[in-house]
Amino acid sequence: MEIFENLSASSRLEPDELDVYSRAVREVTERLGPAVISVGTRSGRGGGSGVILGSAEGTATAVTNSHVVRGLGREGLRVTLSDDTRADAEVLGDDPPSDLAVVRFAPEIEPTVAPLGETRNLVVGQLVVAIGSPLGFQRTVTAGVVSALGRSLRGQGGRLIENVIQTDAAINPGNSGGPLADASGRVVGINTAIIGGAQGIGFAVPVSAAFRRVIFALVTEGRVRRAFLGVMVQSRQARGGSSGGAQVESVSPNSPAEVAGVRPGDVIVGFDERPVRSMDDLLNLLDGQAIGRDAQLHVRRGRSETTLQVRPREMPAE
- So which residues are the catalytic ones? 67, 99, 176
Judged by DSSP in three states, 151 sits in: strand
Ordered alpha helix ranges (H), the chain: 3-10, 20-32, 66-71, 209-221, 256-260, 279-285
Query: For the chain, first and last CA: distance in Å?
Result: 73
**DSSP assignments along 250-316, one per residue:** EE-TTSHHHHHT--TT-EEEEETTEE--SHHHHHHH-BGGGTT--EEEEEEETTEEEEEEE-PEEPP
Residue type, 297: L
CA 107 to chain centre: 24
Phi, psi of 14 (to 5 degrees): -80, 150
Rounded Cα distance, 281 and 233, in Å: 11
199 and 192 Cβ atoms separated by less than 8 Å:
no
Smallest CA-to-CA distance from 181 within 162, 165, 201 is with 165
